[in-house]
Amino acid sequence: MKRYYFHVSDDDTEIRDDDGVVLPDDEHIADYCRDLILAVASEDGWHGEGFVVRTITVADADGNEILSVPFAGSHPAATDGARPGMPRGTIH
């Protein structure tokens, strides 16, 4: 089991995950990202007018960035990957 850190940011704000999450394996990263995107999109403080791109940056326990997942507005990629026109997550 590995510990991963899921940092959420937009152009103005970064929310650092100082605690991290222990996941059984790398396969569970995408599921956790999806759940986090849905949670962030449902919070009032993250809804706004216009098109706002946010990013979840996943880091390992050594601080190495291993995944970056952009998402936009209040329409997260809930089931089938990225919103049209948005890139899918980038593995580093």
| SS3 track for 3-57 | EEEEEEECCCCEECCCCCEEECCHHHHHHHHHHHHHHHHHCHHHCCCCCCEEEEE
Average pLDDT, the chain: 77
Query: pLDDT digit string (tens) for 17-46?
Result: 999 999 998 889 999 999 988 887 776 555
% of residues, the chain, pLDDT over 90: 45
pTM value is: 0.71
**C-alpha to C-alpha distance for 82 and 55, rounded to whole angstroms:** 12
Domain-wise residue ranges, the chain: 2-91
